[in-house]
Amino acid sequence: MNHKLLSLSRAPLFAAGLALLTACVSEPRGSYNTVRGSETSGESTRFSPNRELENSLETRNIVKVRKDGMLIIQFELVNKLDRALSFQWGIEWYDRAGLVLDYGPGHYSPERLSARQSKTIKIVAPSPEAESWKLQVGSRDEVR
Amino acid sequence: MKNLTLSLSLLSLTALGACSSINYDDPNKVETVNLQFGSTDLQSMADKMVQSLLSSPGLQYIDHSGKGEDKRVVLYTGNVNNRTGEHIDTSSITDTIRTSLLKSGRFRIAASNQGQDELGSQVRFQMESGRVDPNLIRQFGKQIGADAVMYGNLRSIEKERQRSLESGGKKTEDVYYKFTLEVVNIETSEVIWMEEKEIRKSKKTGLFGG
């Protein structure tokens, strides 16, 4: 009985110890969902490990066109929820060999869509060499 | 037991408060430290301008009698006037734009004012110092002439609503940026390209917020 009481009294100590250990560690805030496409392939490929975001946000109507030598892609982001949704997206471009074109719009753009709102985004590739892209949509993860 | 719980709570709070660290982070991450002009604003503005410049049919080439095979537009990037209330180094926006345009291969970029200053001192050094082998002194007077000049303005509108009963004790701050950039043909003074980028940021602070 005394032994049990001792264990119980140690529980808060254990919790406090755990709090001390985890106090400086941040929690992951959700992974990115990816849509890959290229100028030559018909269908884009999707990888959606963030199910919560996948259920809230749809990426649809992807259009690709080469105009005046530059590859342009357009896509529609649709908030499927009845409340506002905040997220961020970013895009990477690759040349024919699959090497990343590490300049141009490489940063993440913050986005906020009202309930059931959609937004069409058009992006021009940073170079005529661009032939494929990777669009990443994820939870807001900001430097605050 | 009560004392123990209180002590542990205080200890945990102290541990949380003592948490301080320095980390390297992704420069492409969204930054919302405060309402002031930040890296995400700079990147968004530069991106919009670069994409528009790269896809503009009017900037595919400019031809004239002095040009050889290469008909690409030779662009000189002038100043972006900062007409906001903040101290913003607008040359960082034009630097990003110049870098992307040059790397795209679609434009030729004439030296900036800083480049001309550096060139001037190197020319003087080669011509006047007597330290450079005469056979290796470069020929001058061969700089490319810009076809067009790019310049612009950055403006902002800032508004604030103080806490009131009507606002439910919330304070609202709002800042709107408008970045306008244009490209003018040097010979004709005709504006051959123009683009705008708008950004709105707002902050709502609750009754007990700072």
Place of tokens 């503005």: B45
Model pLDDT, residue B20 = 80
Mean per-residue pLDDT, B36-60? 94
Model pLDDT, residue B169 = 85
Model pLDDT, residue A26 = 29
Say if residue B64's pLDDT is above 90: no
- pLDDT, tens digit (0-9, with 9 covering 90-100), for A73-86: 999 999 999 999 99
Any chain A CB within 8 A of the CB of B105? Answer: yes
pTM: 0.84
Q: Which of B5, B28, B106 sits opposite A90 (nearest CB)?
A: B28
State the pLDDT confidence band at A13, using cuts at 50, 70 and 90.
low
- Among the residue ranges B13-17, B48-52, B72-76, the one predicted with the least confidence is B13-17
Give the chain A residue whose CA is nearest to the CA of B6: A12
CA distance B26 to B38: 14
- pLDDT, tens digit (0-9, with 9 covering 90-100), for B193-202: 999 999 999 9
Model pLDDT, residue A22 = 44
Percentage of chain A beyond pLDDT 90 is 59
Q: How many CB atoms lie within 10 A of CB B128?
A: 9
Residues in A touching B29 (Cβ below 8 Å): 107-108, 141-143
Place of tokens 């700089």: B143
Model pLDDT, residue B164 = 84
Model pLDDT, residue A123 = 94
State the pLDDT confidence band at B12, using cuts at 50, 70 and 90.
low
Any chain B CB within 8 A of the CB of A22? Answer: no
State the pLDDT confidence band at A133, using cuts at 50, 70 and 90.
very high
Beta-carbon contacts of A69 under 8 Å, excluding residues fewer than 6 positions away, are A128
B14 min Cα distance to partner chain A (Å): 9
Q: Length of chain B, please?
A: 210
Residues in B touching A9 (Cβ below 8 Å): 1, 4
Task: Please give the structure tokens belonging to residue A80.
Answer: 């499927």
